[in-house]
Amino acid sequence: MKILISIFILFSLTTNDVVKKKYVPYGIIISKSDLIVDGIISKVSDSHYEFTVNDFIKGNSNNKIKVQIWTQWTCDKRIKEIETDQRLILFLSKTENDYFKIIHGSTGELFVDKDNSVKTFMNSSFPNVSITKDGIKKFSNSYEYLGSLYSRASKNNYFKKKSSISNSAKRIKKNKFYKTIIRDLKSGDYKLKN
């Protein structure tokens, strides 16, 4: 009985701040997305929302899509409640029922404020929306990730270059978000191969 009480006390003293979300680099999120869009929530229901696409950053579909609402939990939350007229950049994968699913919770759901700043849970260091979108496009045109979404860096999981090294160097110099994505991958030991 003393052991059970001790375990209960230990768990009750643990705060939610101890639990951390597994980090997946944006290079992987971008590569694994079927569709990356900028737009506005037009209608909200219990399990999904209707999203009006204003800009296709990667991929193509109808201008109105249905997006499944991901479940929040201790270490992955929305920074704002879902509501109509909210502007978002979404990283999406297609589901079997013609809906789209946000990739990796809050990482795949970027809020765009009226001042064009971009934010998400645990990350508000994005450049403005136009630089962020341009960096996503440039990375998507430069690299393809060969590996699964949640795999660790290894020789079997790497990024393959789609464009020449000189083009990649120009992109790094010209876009802050692209540069951040590349730096993030290199610090995580992901290989960038020709």
Of 67, 52, 73, the C-alpha closest to 103 is 67
Predicted pLDDT of residue 79: 82
φ, ψ dihedrals at 170, nearest 5° = -65, -40
- Enumerate domains of the chain plus CATH numbers: 26-193 (2.40.50.120)
What is the rounded distance in angstroms from the CA atom of residue 136 to the CA atom of residue 131? 9
Range of weakest confidence among 26-35, 104-113, 118-127, 129-138: 118-127
Predicted pLDDT of residue 6: 60
Q: What is the mean pLDDT of residues 24-41?
A: 95
pLDDT tier, 75 (very low <50, low <70, confident <90, very high otherwise)? confident
123 or 167, which is more confident? 123
Q: What is the mean pLDDT of residues 43-55?
A: 96
Of 137, 144, 149, the C-alpha closest to 175 is 137
